[in-house]
């Protein structure tokens, strides 16, 4: 079974290289693709964490986590968490 996935070719990649990359990924066993995906996700998360720590060297772990949440999901979720925590404190 073949699934067609729409993709955007990166601007710094030729069509030939992109096709070769896609063929290499398609040739991988599903478990190998999952492993590669998980590895890339962990690497990206680490790079994001390191970028925040470089930008805000005085931040503690909790502040770094809040900044990462804000960048990923927006500041509204942090406001909602604060409101929820304040409400629980007042109950």
Predicted confidence pLDDT, tens digits, the chain (91 residues): 555 655 788 889 999 999 999 999 999 999 999 999 999 999 999 999 999 999 999 999 999 999 999 999 999 999 998 888 888 888 7
Task: Decide if 63 contacts 52 (C-beta within 8 A).
Answer: no
Q: Give the pair of three-digit tokens for residue 28.
A: 């991988």
CA separation for the pair 13, 29 (Å, rounded): 24
Per the CB < 8 A criterion, the answer to whether 78 and 70 are in contact is yes
In angstroms, rounded to a whole number, what is the distance separating the alpha carbons of residues 72 and 46? Answer: 14
N-terminal to C-terminal alpha carbon distance within the chain: 55
Predicted local confidence at residue 4, as pLDDT: 60
């Amino acid at each position: 079974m073949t699934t067609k996935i729409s993709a955007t070719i990166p601007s710094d990649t030729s069509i030939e290289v992109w096709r070769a990359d896609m063929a290499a990924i398609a040739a991988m066993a599903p478990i190998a693709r999952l492993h590669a995906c998980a590895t890339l996700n962990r690497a990206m998360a680490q790079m994001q964490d390191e970028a925040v720590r470089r930008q805000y060297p005085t931040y503690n772990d909790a502040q770094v986590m809040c900044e990462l949440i804000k960048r990923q999901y927006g500041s509204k979720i942090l406001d909602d968490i604060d409101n929820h925590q304040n409400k629980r404190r007042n109950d």
